[in-house]
A and B are shown apart, each in its own frame.
Chain A
């Protein structure tokens, strides 16, 4: 009984790690742009496709495919960032919703047009199970867990100490003041956007070996899972996102075990509704930020 519970919590933490890496990018983009990036899951998909392409067509190793997947996503994110995201600075909220939803459709359907709508088989990764503390986990999941921790430690340090992190926080607080003191706002927006997209791609490439399938529509589900997380975490809050992702992962895992797998996807939306009803500014901040 206790070991089942412990095992399910570990499962939840692994799932939560995947969500966390995707969601943190989305929440940072929200911080600087005040817009929810509905295309965020598509960068997760692009990263995975890049890696799959590298393995199946260029016959590279899995390690090299991680780099290819992320670089490909960075190039696409740069183009989208220059053409679309930079224009959203100061634009009304509807503009952001329409623009990002449009980008999601374009990216998804371009990939389907080029590679076909069918599922592709992702053959790379370390899928051999290993035994840890009496539980068996695929090596890949251990890797995801470690990478997630490193990403968050890195982001905390960057946001707190680096110039880019400081300017990101400044932009998320007051765009006019940033312009007055000489912070290049469009540049900060572009960099944050590329960083967020690259993190989504990283999450996609790391998860691909355990999720096996690669297909054009795979990003949609991720966008819908990350949306409740960033709202629970307090929009724009990096640390809050981490804990919200873990909470959702664990809650999903427990629901799948004790209630039924078919109710798993409802967890995110139920928590989203509850959060919006009682703590619309997120679980981890004491007051509304704006």
Chain B
């Protein structure tokens, strides 16, 4: 038995199909109720920064689950799509393009590395996709955002400028250090933190005796640590990667710096496994972080408990900031009344969001006003010395 398909039938069905395919385009950005909201997450899921990506992903996943379990944002579920930046700008840009072009995401959160975020900004801008950064600290990201240029970039994370200032101030005033050695990661994060440290150190009569930057993945610090030991520095300014901190700390013990010269800066000095790797080297370490698990606020404690229950290990800073940022975005979508990108952007610039470290508002450079938390390792545990917010002085254009 054969079925004859007439030419007319083909013409007709083609016309119908074309029309059907065209309808979503006619509809444009008018979202149907109940449709999912696609949220892209660009993070280093492999490579030397994979630890950050893994925590970021799990933080974001937890927030998405919480939102969806509570019925979504005005009835719309959030779908999380992951893009691997490998911590390098080239891969970060490809991942961003893939999320925009093939996954058709509505919003992007990313990346952790400042170098990658800086490269993603123009891509998001061209596509008119909201890029909400949750974990990069280089000040240039928001120097160039909002009234500074990129309309679609927002950052919900404090900057290196704030961080460098409070670390330098604490080291000088509370610890009485004047001679420093620099050992930071060779990236936009490590270098900008030192740039701003140099801006503020003279105010506290501090001087830098040696200055070295390590490549991501470096494992041998004995030579440079011996040089620092012989230079007579009182503290090592370390803006590094969390995974490298235990290596540096162990080798500090090896060359005889442990217990004599503390590290100050940032690089997850307060993580229990890091302290366990070299307790003597990290005693007295000073760190400025956006958040830490020991932060004493009910919302923060509840997050730590929930994350630990779901993952069999405690969260880090990146898990927290991504969890919080997904909730922030959800609130912005809710206040906008629809996932329309223009409206969400408007809502975000006016938002008053109640985060675990205080109320979040954005300035005219789309930069969140957020505190840095200062802590010191005492008796093998982080002891919080306070939270400091600084209004950013943008360079005159």
Contacts and interface: CB of A to CB of B under 8 A. Distances in A.
Chain A interface residue bracket vs B: 35 or more
Interface stretch (B68-76, B102-110, B211-219, B366-374): B211-219
B184 to A, nearest CB: 10
A241 to B, nearest CB: 20
Interface in A117-133: 117-119, 121, 127, 129
A41 B48 CA distance: 16
B173 interface: no
A261 B48 contact: no
Contacts of B219: 210-213
B79 to A, nearest CB: 23
A254 B247 CA distance: 20
Contact of A119 (B211, B227, B243): B243
A257 B215 CA distance: 15
A7 B53 CA distance: 38
Nearest to B223: A256
Interface stretch (B163-171, B248-256, B322-330, B343-351): B248-256
Interface in A14-66: 14-15
A261 B218 contact: yes
Interface in B170-220: 183, 186, 211-215, 217-220
A108 to B, nearest CB: 10
A262 B213 contact: yes
Contact of A117 (B54, B223, B227, B273): B54
Contacts of B215: 262, 264-265
Interface string B262-288: 000000000001000100000000000
A123 to B, nearest CB: 9
Given A136-B254, A138-B254, A118 B54 contact: yes
Contact of B50 (A117, A137, A254): A117
A112 B50 CA distance: 11
Given A11-B226, A117-B46, A217-B46, A261 B254 contact: no
Contacts of A261: 183, 212-214, 218, 221, 223-224
B51 A221 contact: no
Q: Which of A118, A215, A265 has the most CB of B within 10 A?
A: A118
A73 interface: no
Contact of A216 (B46, B250, B254): B46
B277 A212 contact: yes
Nearest to B213: A262
A4 B232 CA distance: 14
Contacts of A215: 48, 50
B246 interface: yes
Contacts of A8: 223, 226
Contacts of B50: 116-119, 215
B223 A212 contact: no
Contact of B247 (A4, A212, A260, A262): A212
A226 interface: no
Contacts of A203: none
B47 interface: yes
Given A8-B226, A137-B254, A212-B246, A217 B214 contact: no
B45 interface: yes
B230 A260 contact: no
Nearest to B224: A261
Contact of A211 (B213, B226, B247): B247
Nearest to B50: A117
Interface string B49-77: 01101100000000000000000000000
A253 interface: yes
Contact of A210 (B46, B250, B273): B250
Given A11-B223, A117-B46, A127 B250 contact: yes
B230 A4 contact: yes
B45 A117 contact: yes
Given A138-B254, A213-B247, A121 B224 contact: no
Given A212-B246, A212-B247, A264-B218, A136 B256 contact: yes
Given A112-B46, A262-B186, A121 B223 contact: no
A132 to B, nearest CB: 12
B250 A212 contact: yes
Contacts of A129: 253-254, 256
A261 B253 CA distance: 19
A127 B252 CA distance: 12
B306 interface: no
B299 interface: no
B385 interface: no
Nearest to A266: B215
Contact of B273 (A7, A12, A121, A256): A121
Nearest to A265: B215
Nearest to B227: A257
B222 interface: yes
Interface in A100-126: 112, 116-119, 121
A253 B222 CA distance: 8
Given A121-B246, A136-B254, A136-B256, A4 B51 contact: no
Contacts of A262: 186, 212-215
Nearest to B183: A261
A11 B226 CA distance: 10
Given A12-B223, A15-B220, 4 more contacts: A116-B54, A117-B54, A127-B253, A217-B48
22 contacts: A4-B230, A8-B223, A11-B220, A11-B222, A11-B226, A12-B223, A15-B220, A116-B54, A117-B50, A121-B273, A129-B254, A136-B256, A211-B247, A212-B250, A215-B50, A217-B46, A256-B212, A256-B223, A261-B213, A261-B221, A262-B213, A264-B220
Q: Which 4 A-B pairs have the closest CB atoms?
A: A117-B50, A261-B212, A117-B46, A256-B223
Interface of A: 4, 7-8, 11-12, 14-15, 112, 116-119, 121, 127, 129, 136-138, 210-213, 215-218, 221, 252-254, 256-257, 260-262, 264-265
